[in-house]
Structure 1
Amino acid sequence: MGCFGFLKAMMFCFNGIIFLAGAAILGVGVWVKVDSSSLGGLLQKLGQGGGVASQLLNVGYLLIAVGAVLLVMGFLGCCGAIRESQCMLLLFFIIVLIVFIAEVAGAVVVLAFSSVARDLIQKLGDEAVKNIKQDYGKNSEVTTLWNETMTKLKCCGFYNYTDFTDSQFVNTTQRYPTPCCKNSTCTYNNATVSDVSGCLNSLVTFIKDNSVVLGAVGLGIAVLEIAAMASSMTMYCKISSK
């Protein structure tokens, strides 16, 4: 197998994986929208029917869009390589280039407008604390969701244990939730709960601890995209020279 044949096989395999990934993401997106009666119901209860829940439900549309783009990319890459179609290879190159530019622009926007992200987190935090004070211990779905989150992240509340202060749960039971406790009593006046960090803090710490991995993944994706563009252009030029 010559260099061109090897490049052709790699293009087919690489874009076949992209095609399958796109199909999977598209399927998940369609499922999220179709099964909104169960998933959406839980999110609506969590967000009290506010804007946060609606924004979370729109993730389905995002998944559908991403899946569709990946499907088209995979199809063009596979067919362009097998059929040696200059048109398909050129379209593949243009789509990957647009995606690459969009990713770079998105990263720049996130870095430049970090205050927007802080405002969004603040709004989400307000909704979360409101949700805790009103529904924790009263609504079984909300209670289970918070308990599982706090147990897995080893945290208490959104910001800290004070999110539960004056909540319906604490006022009724005179104790904090079990995930907030470092001993078996955990009464209202038990100060040991102050040692348990909030879930936002735990999530930020997790991201910081895994920042190298996340950066490596992002860099790997960028390298793959550049390699895909270089491969498609190389094939395009070789086919043109025949």
Structure 2
Amino acid sequence: MAVEGGMKCVKFLVFIFNFIFWVCGVALIAIGIYAQVAFNRALVISSASTTSSPVAILVLGVIIFFISFFGCCGAWKESYCMVTTFAVLLSIIFLVEIAAAITGYVFKDKIRSEVEQDLWEALHKYGKDQPLTVAVDSFQRDFHCCGVNNYTDWATIQSFMVNDTVPRSCCRINTTSCNIHPSPATVYEKGCLQSMESWVKNNIVIVAAVALGIAFFEILGIVFACCLMKGIRSGYEVM
């Protein structure tokens, strides 16, 4: 009877933790959508390889969402096959998350370099590519930035060099001459690369906290799933 009661407890815990995974999956989907919307303007400016993180978070959330549902069904029906599959898939996801975190840390400087290069290309194509021009203007207004490193970057662009101007999307104040002979008093002084980095740093804390919480529950879920697998295989009554 002690074993039976213990297995009932394990089965209940597996079910509860899978519900938590389901909530975590929903949270990741929400974060992924939020990040994708925020980076939507940058998707036109930057290459897909440097702005794919929101999509990866969204996909991971969807995967966890379905795996948690699979685990709940396995625990409820006491299916050894389903619980085993759940434990294996959860272990794979955990390892992939660790690999992704390590890869992101190792290549963070390369990603920054690629984003900077893409921003410079966007400046040189400004006015020649209409969708990109609209994206740059929208990005500068929303992130309160101008140029790549600062507003003086526009002085190196031929179309702005002659008249000493910057795009009106750089203006701090809404006047007809705010973009002529720009200065920190009239236009945003901070560059868009720095603004983007600040946005990422401000939001990475939320992402990291969610990721650590999910990783903790994943480990517990794997342990309890293995215990339930052992109980089912041994033929113990868990109902």
Report the TM-score when normalising by structure 2: 0.69
- Separation (CA, whole Å) in 1 of partners of 2:54 and 2:195: 26
**Structure 1 position 13 matched with structure 2 position 19:** yes
- Correspondence for 1:228: 221
- 1:208 aligned to which of 190, 201, 206: 201
- Separation (CA, whole Å) in 2 of partners of 1:181 and 1:85: 63
* CA RMSD in angstroms, aligned pairs only: 4.0
Q: Is contact 2:87–2:225 with CA below 8 Å preserved after alignment?
A: yes
Counterparts of residues 19-34 of structure 1 (less than 5 Å): none
Q: Is contact 2:171–2:187 with CA below 8 Å preserved after alignment?
A: no
- 1:119 aligned to which of 110, 124, 134: 110
- Correspondence for 1:189: 181
Question: 1:108: Cα distance to partner?
Answer: 2.8
**Structure 1 position 199 matched with structure 2 position 197:** no
- Separation (CA, whole Å) in 1 of partners of 2:120 and 2:77: 57
SS in 2 for 1:165: helix
Question: 1:173: Cα distance to partner?
Answer: 6.3
**Structure 1 position 95 matched with structure 2 position 85:** no
- Correspondence for 1:219: 212
Question: 1:179: Cα distance to partner?
Answer: 3.4
Rate the CA distance shift 1:131–1:73 in 2: closer, same or farther, 3 A: same
- Correspondence for 2:37: none
- 2:142 aligned to which of 152, 160, 167: 152
Question: 1:84: Cα distance to partner?
Answer: 0.6
Report the TM-score when normalising by structure 1: 0.68
Question: 1:197: Cα distance to partner?
Answer: 0.8
The alignment covers a number of residue pairs equal to 218
Q: Relative contact order (alpha carbons < 8 A, sep ≥ 6): 1 or 2 greater?
A: 2
- Correspondence for 1:36: none
Q: Is contact 1:156–1:198 with CA below 8 Å preserved after alignment?
A: yes
Question: 1:201: Cα distance to partner?
Answer: 0.6
- Separation (CA, whole Å) in 2 of partners of 1:78 and 1:84: 10
- Correspondence for 1:139: 129
The residue identity in structure 1 corresponding to 2:70 is L
Structure 2 unmatched ranges of 5 or more? 34-39
Counterparts of residues 13-92 of structure 1 (less than 5 Å): 13-14=19-20, 46=45, 52-53=47-48, 55=49, 66=60, 69-70=63-64, 73-92=67-86
Structure 1 unmatched ranges of 5 or more? 29-38
Q: Is contact 1:11–1:81 with CA below 8 Å preserved after alignment?
A: no
Q: Is contact 1:46–1:142 with CA below 8 Å preserved after alignment?
A: yes
Percent of aligned positions that are identical: 26
Q: Deviations over 1:75-131 (max 9, x none)?
A: 5313311221112212211211121122223323333x2xx4323332332232122
SS in 1 for 2:127: coil
- Separation (CA, whole Å) in 2 of partners of 1:222 and 1:12: 13
Q: Is contact 2:144–2:188 with CA below 8 Å preserved after alignment?
A: no
Q: Is contact 1:16–1:78 with CA below 8 Å preserved after alignment?
A: no
- Separation (CA, whole Å) in 2 of partners of 1:57 and 1:203: 11
Rate the CA distance shift 1:78–1:172 in 2: closer, same or farther, 3 A: farther
Rate the CA distance shift 1:104–1:174 in 2: closer, same or farther, 3 A: same
